[in-house]
């Protein structure tokens, strides 16, 4: 085996959503192993949706981790036995009431290679115009904005979820939106 090499792993489950991983890594044969910690959870998906009339659904919810309400794209974890695409379609429907007429994967990314041991898959969805009647999940507010408004929200710091900002860039790089 080459180096670096994981010589020991320890897993501590904190909840159904969070596990702490401890890894001892040896970088050379004569080195003592160094200890590294990371957090993992189920794989994650986020959906940058756009209606046929050019409206982008975003959701606002309270996030205890940052003790603030945040504007984000519809997102969530992939359930056991579910594909990322199925999870993306489910999250879009649950949070906004929109069905994806088209769902395009625009990348599977590592959110933070130094601290998180998980993958986040981003999707771009083309959706019909707004759903007439939909009750979002408890605690979620849905808003429809034009791209220009979304960009203004990014500039002002009102839309600041780093992974979701990367999804905007990925959608642009894949030719799904104009910047």
User: Which residues span the domain enclosing 32?
Assistant: 5-40
Tokens 């990367």 found at: 166
- How many CA atoms are closer than 13 Å to the CA of 7, on its beta-carbon side? 14
pLDDT digits (tens, 9 = 90+) for 120-175: 999 999 999 877 677 877 899 999 999 999 999 999 999 999 999 999 999 999 99
Asked whether residue 115 is assigned to any structural domain, the reply reads yes
Q: How many domains does the chain have?
A: 2
- Predicted pLDDT of residue 132: 64
Residues 60 and 35 in one domain: no
How many residues comprise the chain? 179
Please check whether residue 165 lies inside any domain of the structure.
yes
pLDDT tens by residue, 128-139: 987 767 787 789
What per-residue confidence (pLDDT) applies to 97?
Answer: 92
How does pLDDT run across 63-117, given as a tens digit for each residue? 999 999 999 999 999 999 999 999 999 999 999 999 999 999 999 999 999 999 9
Radius of gyration of the chain (CA): 19
Which one, of 59, 61, 73, lies nearest residue 124 by Cα? 73
Shared domain for 154 and 94, answered yes or no, is yes
96 Cβ partners below 8 Å, 6+ apart? 49, 57, 59, 74, 131, 134, 136, 142
Domain identity same for 33 and 49: no
What local confidence, expressed as pLDDT, does residue 172 receive? 96
What confidence score (pLDDT) does residue 16 get?
87
Same domain, 84 and 125: yes
pLDDT band of residue 17 (cuts 50, 70, 90) is confident
Please indicate, yes or no, if residue 178 is contained in any of the structural domains.
no
């Amino acid at each position: 085996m080459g180096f670096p090499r994981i010589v020991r792993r320890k897993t501590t489950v904190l909840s159904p959503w969070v596990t702490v991983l401890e890894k001892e890594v040896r970088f050379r044969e004569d080195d003592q192993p160094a200890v590294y910690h990371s957090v993992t959870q189920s794989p994650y998906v986020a959906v940058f949706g756009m209606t046929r009339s050019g409206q982008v659904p975003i959701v606002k919810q309270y996030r205890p981790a940052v003790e603030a309400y945040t504007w984000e794209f519809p997102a969530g974890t992939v359930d056991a036995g579910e594909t990322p695409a199925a999870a993306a379609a489910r999250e879009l429907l649950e949070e906004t009431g929109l069905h994806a007429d088209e769902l395009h994967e625009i990348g599977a990314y590592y959110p933070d290679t130094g601290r998180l041991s998980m993958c986040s898959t981003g999707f771009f969805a083309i959706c019909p115009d707004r759903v007439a009647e939909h009750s979002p999940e408890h605690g979620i507010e849905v808003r429809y904005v034009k791209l220009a408004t979304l960009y203004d929200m990014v500039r002002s710091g009102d839309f600041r979820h780093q992974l979701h900002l990367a999804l905007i860039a990925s959608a642009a790089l894949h030719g799904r939106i104009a910047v």
